[in-house]
Amino acid sequence: MPQLASVEESFQVRTFRRCCFCSRQAVLPERVWRNIAVNVCRFNIFDASCIKIVTFNTMIQHEVGAMKEVNKDSLGHTIYGRICQDLVRGKLRPNQKITIRGLAESLGTSSTPVRDAVQRLLQDSALEQRSVRDVRVPVLTARQYMEISYMRAELEGLAAAKAAEVAEDRDVARLKHIIMRNEEAIAAARWSKATELNQKFHFALAGMADMPLMLDVLHRLWLRTGPLIAGYYEGAIEDMVQQHHVIVSACERRDAASARTAMRADIEGARKGIAAYITSFSAD
């Protein structure tokens, strides 16, 4: 992924910015432009080296580090969010060792804000500290996993039902597009991407249902189970998106009951396999 260069704050009337990756350009404040870089070009919000400031038709590339532009609290919050995202999407796997230095280098920042973010994740039980220098992604016990799975089945079943009741054509088209990309990622054995798209599908339903509080709860549950789901499906023969097609069909028919049933089947169908995957760690 291209590294973002920092962009010096500038709000001159004739100042506009251009992304060197996608060539978009506009007269926009840096805050808005960074949102475009993150949500459209998929860059880390503080890795913006691809952004240049163009003023009076003269391109000037500033070399001031973006990390220096943000205060410590804001930076720590952003790094915390980035690591959370990697856990939810399964980019970090169960029992994977995490180092402050490694995270700082990958994020292009100093160790201090990374250490603060890791401390928050330890408090959230999203990471565990086994010794002074050994911080890892936890391996849930079978009992912990089952508790979360039961909660997900109830909550996400409700979200799917509510989404089906209000689904519009554009919502269905978006869900189908996510499934298509998910199937492409699975075919290419890109398991981190497949897990990310799997999570995106589940969260999209809660978004369609307009249930922001549920989204917050689901994020916390996926924070604990994202690494397990990704690790399991990498070696599983089960179809990650089979029930997703059923859910989309239910949304097209506005069939809330069928959407709920399919979502529950999607979550419940992986329980036995994920429980066995958890057991494999104790056997190592």
Model confidence pLDDT, tens digit, residues 36-54 = 455 444 444 443 334 333 3
Whole-number pLDDT of residue 260: 98
- Domain range spanning residue 130? 70-136
Q: How many domains are contained in the chain?
A: 3
Taking only the tens place, the pLDDT of each residue in 207-257 is 999 999 999 999 999 999 999 998 888 877 678 899 999 999 999 999 999
Is residue 22's pLDDT more than 80?
Answer: no
Q: Is residue 32 part of a domain?
A: yes
Whole-number pLDDT of residue 72: 60
Residue given tokens 């804000």 in the structure block: 113
79 in the same domain as 31: no
267 in the same domain as 147: yes
190 in the same domain as 208: yes
* Whole-structure pTM value: 0.71
Q: Is residue 9 part of a domain?
A: no
Single out the residue in 27, 52, 67 at which a domain terminates: 67
175 in the same domain as 115: no
62 in the same domain as 156: no
Taking only the tens place, the pLDDT of each residue in 86-113 is 899 888 999 999 999 998 888 888 888 8
74 in the same domain as 63: no
Whole-number pLDDT of residue 71: 57
- More confident call, 232 vs 192: 232
Is residue 2's pLDDT more than 90?
Answer: no
Q: Residue 79 maps to which CATH number? A: 1.10.10.10
Instruction: Locate the DSSP E strands across the chain.
Output: 15-19, 25-26, 51-55, 58-60, 97-98, 128-131, 134-136
77 in the same domain as 62: no
159 in the same domain as 279: yes
Taking only the tens place, the pLDDT of each residue in 103-144 is 888 888 888 889 999 999 999 999 999 988 899 999 999 999
Longest dimension (CA), the chain: 65
pLDDT, averaged across the chain: 79
212 in the same domain as 94: no
Q: Is residue 2 part of a domain?
A: no
230 in the same domain as 262: yes
Q: How far is CA 278 from CA 227, 264, 273, in A?
A: 11, 21, 9
161 in the same domain as 268: yes
Q: Is residue 148 part of a domain?
A: yes
Question: Which range (17-21, 90-94, 257-261) has the least confidence?
Answer: 17-21
Single out the residue in 90, 120, 136 at which a domain terminates: 136
- Scored b (16 or more CB within 10 A) or e, 81-97 reads ebbbbbbbbbbbbbebe
The residues, ordered by sequence, that sit 6+ positions from 117 with a Cβ below 8 Å of its Cβ are 76, 79, 80, 83, 103
Residue given tokens 């004739």 in the structure block: 14
In the predicted model, what is the mean pLDDT of residues 253-270?
97
Number of C-beta neighbours around residue 269 at 10 A: 13
Single out the residue in 120, 136, 152 at which a domain terminates: 136
